[in-house]
Amino acid sequence: MGEEELPTTQTGPKGVINDWRKFKLESVDQDSLPPSKRELLRQMSTQKPKEGGQDRGHRKMSTQEYELIKEEDEKHLRKYRKQCMQEMRERLSFGPTFEGVQELESGEAFLEVIEKEHQLATVVVHIYEDRVKGCEALNSCFTCLAAEYPSVKFCKIKASSTGAADRFSDDVLPTILVYKSGELLGNFLCATQHLNEEIFAVDVEAFLNEYGLLPQKDFNPAGAEEEEADVE
């Protein structure tokens, strides 16, 4: 199955401004705007290029348009930047990105994640049971790490849901399994034995890094936004 073609964005200052304007107009909750602004948005989004090839991106921006853009909160700007960064990562073949920890409901779902995930993606699976000490803490650590390593797919599955509960009895839980391209890279039974009594995300991160199982940490989005602000 071929890769889905990504949308082409314009480059250069005018292209970036027009891309951002288009993205923002599509993101605004128009129902929440007063009628005057709603009408302005409609005009901005439906106005056609003038004859002779002069499109509206080359004319001066009206005061109303400028104020409307200026008023837009940073939430949309962060969302736009995130989308651009996501597209750039995929264009450069860095592989997919993920959000949060995926709960696997069955052994079939477990196998599918291992066998069908993108070959560049590392998959880290926590096999747990609520009644086993350390499992809840490790699940919380996975949530933190998933936010810091979006290129890693963090998953969790109850031992009783794997279809192989006899292999994952309480005395070997919590278990951490690490895969890439369908190959098992790490198999850590009773993972809490390798960690401190109180488990923190930094401890799990350091442990996995000992075995070279995590990629280089993605840069800090907040820091990146500050750099982008300086460029602008």
Q: HSE on the CB side for 93, CA within 13 Å?
A: 1
> What are the E-state strand segments in 82-150?
101-103, 122-128
Using only C-alpha atoms, what is the Rg of the chain? 24
Query: Of 130, 125, 132, 131, nearest to 110 (Cα)?
Result: 125
Q: Where are the beta strands (DSSP E) in the chain?
A: 101-103, 122-128, 152-158, 175-180, 183-188
| Tens digit of pLDDT at every position of the chain (232 positions) | 444 444 444 444 555 556 656 666 666 555 666 666 666 666 655 555 555 545 544 556 566 666 666 665 566 777 777 777 767 666 655 678 899 999 999 999 999 999 999 888 999 999 999 999 999 999 999 999 999 999 999 999 999 999 888 899 999 999 999 999 999 999 999 999 988 778 999 999 999 999 999 988 754 444 444 444 444 4
pTM for this entry: 0.58
CA distance 83 to 77: 10
Contact 195, 207 (CB under 8 A): yes
